[in-house]
Structure 1
Amino acid sequence: MKLFRYLMLFFIIYSCFNNENKILPTERPLTESVYSSVTIQPDSLYQAYAIVAGILDNNLVEEGDVVSKNQTLIQIINSTPKLNAQNAKFSLNLAKENYNGNAAVLNSILEEITAAKLKYQNDSINYFRQKNLWEQKIGSKVEFDTRKLNYELASNNLKLLQSKYHRTKNELYTAVQQAQNNYQTALINTKDFMVKSKINGKVYALYKESGEIVTTMEPLASIGSATHFVIDMLVDEVDIVSISKNQDVIINLDAYNGKVFKGKVSKIYPKKDERNQTFKVEAVFENPPNILYPGLSGEANIIIKKKDTVLTIPKAYLIEDDKVKTDDGLTPITTGLQNMEYIEVLSGITKDTFIYKPE
């Protein structure tokens, strides 16, 4: 009698234990998604650098200020460019004076040309007079040759001086143009000491205070959109091939505990980050929160597939990825969509097939 009672008790306990681990597949909507961490960043975010080195004179804006395109953000001090601009201006003025003939360079050549013309005219008269006499057999051959040589030398000298004048004038004109370019470059360098905003946006960070040394290698400010934010996501390389633009994204932000936001994939960066084997993906909010700050973190699920009604089983009941335990033993199944909890069953069992949780 006691043995019978023990057997009955064992059977009841075994049956209860068995029933607790035995379930039927269920039909439900199923969504397959790719998980990603999330960081919120302003759209068009960039870091502003100085083009030249110096000392920071003054931050003309504060963190949180809304700025417009080309608005001056930071003023830098450096006297060298101003001195260079002054020197370039002096060189330009000198070059203009030389070119316009007010200096001795061109005037001295003009004086030489005037004297050469007088000599050429005098030698020309003497030559042609002696030539006429020689044709009449008057005078000596030596005298004729001397007058001819003087005439030719005077002619050549005048041509050389005239050529020298035009060449010098061209060189002086070129010098004016070069001085003008140098002066404009020097002026640009003085303007480079003002760091300006490239966009209409907001100042999110200022990295230096007045009196600190500024180099071209260190950022001075962080500027981004004041109203538009993007969702930066890091997707594992095994999932990136499933991601495409305009896919739906479900976002949970730590700052908005329990609230769900929707977005869409807007950009996929093609270069993999070798440090963490991920790809950067951007999304935009459909209805963003009222308040957002750069650096807010959270998590997201990128929806890659979705079905309204499918036969599913809990993933905990799956054995070796493609089998389940039934009353007939291990039964192969074909699977489809899956999420963190459930997996779709395409074939192998029905909604009336009991399955058992593996031990």
Structure 2
Amino acid sequence: MKTVFVLEGILLTTVFYGCNRTEEGTSPTYKDLTEAVYASGSVFPRNEYKVLANADGILQQQLVSEGDSVKRNQLVFVLEGITQGAREQAAANIYRQSQANLNTNSPVLAELEAQLQTAQTRLANDSVNYVRYRDLYQQNATSKAELERVQLAYQTSRNDFAARRSSLQRTRNQLYVDLQNSRSQYIASGQDQGNTRIRSFVDGKVYEISKEPGEVVRRNDQLALIGSGREVFVQLAVDESDFGKIRVGQDVIVKADVYPDKVFKAIVRKIYPKLNRVDQSFRVDADFVGELPDAYYGLTVEANIVISQKNRVLTIPKSYVVGNDSVWVKENGEARKIRIEKGAENFDLVQVKGGLNEKSIVVNPE
């Protein structure tokens, strides 16, 4: 239900200059009229964020409680990784093995280098043998078949040497890549270990704890809700029918049940264009001006967003309006229905811009 509350001494004060009520009806009177849109909402902290787990594990330590103040980078939770230790040890073992495979005493490289040396020795022998047989053939001291056999052996040895040299270089390159990959995995496993130590991103206040020590925590589970402990704003829901009247910079009067004797002032900061189809309302955010309420998360408030202020305008009670723009008036002892031109209005009063004057007698339609 929409309500416009009246607050003495502030923007929504309505000054009455007299009421010409008679037994037969009432006459329009001049009054100060403040037009406002009612909105309900809640108070929330600035810089609000959900503290999420960055790894799977068991909540080992809860270092803060609801209501505590925290500093940026302060340790707030510690998780015990379920399999983290095993993964880190496996990554360390692979990294050490990769280092051993590439160092000067590497058994993998030593075997390939031995094979390369054997191939080099065989190539040298076959090369000498080929030169000797070539000279003998030129002297007609051996047959062409023998020369071709020795030449084939020399070419085979040369190809084998080239292939083993290429294999050694290729293996050395692959071992280097494996070393870099295993090093990255080892560093990443150490970072995962760091993910079990959850810290606050901001200076603020702990509003909610979602997990307790001993509970199993999955990656991206919410652990807590943290927000600014000093800076707060009011989030309002404005009815769809009134949304077109709202503008950034308009004054807002805010009341909260927990402060029955206080009125807070705010100003519209942001208007959201998406309709909430659940309650047919739009979201409007407002910043407090001057005194702030205490930083209670979700504190329920009611507000009036001031649309316009009219000084000494002709008004009638809103309850006398029939439909959208008609009233019953009494003329010459008879009642008849006429149309009026309306101006600003609030929950109680309607500005009359045309159709009535101070001498008109408006009849209550009830």
TM-score (norm 2): 0.88
Answer yes or no: is the 8 Å Cα contact 2:54–2:220 preserved in 1: no
Pick one of 345, 352, 362 that aligns with 1:345: 352
Q: Percent identity?
A: 35
SS at match of 1:158: helix
Gaps of 5+ in 2: 1-20
Within 2, Cα distance between the matches of 1:22 and 1:139? 144
Residue in structure 2 matched with residue 254 of structure 1 by the alignment: 257
Matches for 1:217-232 after TM superposition, within 5 Å: 218-232=221-235
Aligned pair partner of 2:343 in 325, 336, 348: 336
* Secondary structure in structure 1 of the residue aligned to 2:22: helix
In structure 1, runs of 5+ residues without a counterpart are 1-17
Match of 2:150 among 147, 162, 174: 147
Distance 2:120 2:161 in 1: 6
Structure 1 position 45, deviation (Å): 1.7
Relative distance call for 1:52 and 1:296 in structure 2 (3 A) is same
| 1:102 shift after superposition | 2.1
1:296 Cα offset (Å): 1.8
Q: 1:212 aligns with which of 198, 212, 215?
A: 215
SS at match of 2:66: coil
Q: Is 2:319 the counterpart of 1:316?
A: yes
C-alpha separation between the residues in 2 aligned to 1:215 and 1:127?
72
1:100-143 Cα distance to aligned partner (Å, 9 max, x none): 24221111111111111111111111112222232333311122
With over 3 angstroms needed to count, the CA separation of the structure-2 counterparts of 1:125 and 1:353, relative to structure 1, is same
Alignment correspondent of 2:86? 83
Could you say which residue in structure 2 is the equivalent of 1:13?
A: none
After superposition, the Cα gap between the structure-2 partners of 1:278 and 1:197, relative to the gap in structure 1 and judged at 3 Å, is: same
Q: For residue 31 of structure 2, what is the amino acid of its counterpart?
A: R
Map of 2:11 onto structure 1: none
Structure 1: 4+ residue segments shifted above 6 A: none
Aligned match of 2:10: none
Shift of 1:267: 2.2
Among candidates 330, 349, 363, match of residue 356 of structure 1: 363
Structure 2 partner of 1:188: 191
Residues 109-124 of structure 1 aligned to structure 2 (within 5 Å): 109-124=112-127
Instruction: Write out aligned runs for 1:1-359 (5 A).
Output: 19-216=22-219, 218-289=221-292, 291-328=294-331, 329-359=336-366
Describe the shift of the 1:135–1:39 C-alpha distance in structure 2 as closer, same or farther (beyond 3 A): same
Question: How far off its partner does 1:54 sit?
Answer: 1.9
The 3 A distance-change label for structure 1 pair 27 and 136 is: farther
Partners of 1:166 and 1:304 in 2: how far apart?
Answer: 80
**CA drift at 1:21:** 4.4
Contact 2:320 2:365 in 1 (8 A): yes
Write the letter of the residue equivalent to 2:192.
N
Residue by residue over 1:74-106, the C-alpha shift from the partner in whole angstroms, topping out at 9 and shown as x without a partner, is 011124112211110110111111122422111
Question: Partners in 1 of 2:293 and 2:323 — Cα distance?
Answer: 47
SS at match of 1:327: strand
Higher helix share: 1
**Are the equivalent residues in 1 in contact too, given 2:68–2:206 (CA < 8 A)?**
yes
Contact 2:327 2:340 in 1 (8 A): yes
Change (3 A) 1:247 1:167: same
TM-score, with length taken from structure 1: 0.90
Q: Displacement of 1:291 after TM fit?
A: 2.9
SS at 2:178's partner residue?
Answer: helix
Letter in 1 for 2:92: K
Letter in 1 for 2:170: R
How many pairs align?
342
Q: How far apart, in 2, do the equivalents of 1:152 and 1:122 lie?
A: 12
Describe the superposition over 1:242-297 as per-residue Cα deviations: whole angstroms up to 9, x where unpaired: 22322211101111113211101122233332322222221110013363311221
Q: Which sits farther off after the overlay, 150-159 or 43-52?
A: 43-52
CA displacement 1:290-348 (0-9 Å, x = unmatched): 63311221200112233333221111121222122223332211112110000111111
Quote the residue 1:15 is aligned against: none
Deviates more, 1:146-155 or 1:324-333: 324-333
Deviates more, 1:291-300 or 1:103-112: 291-300
Distance 1:184 1:269, change over 3 A: farther
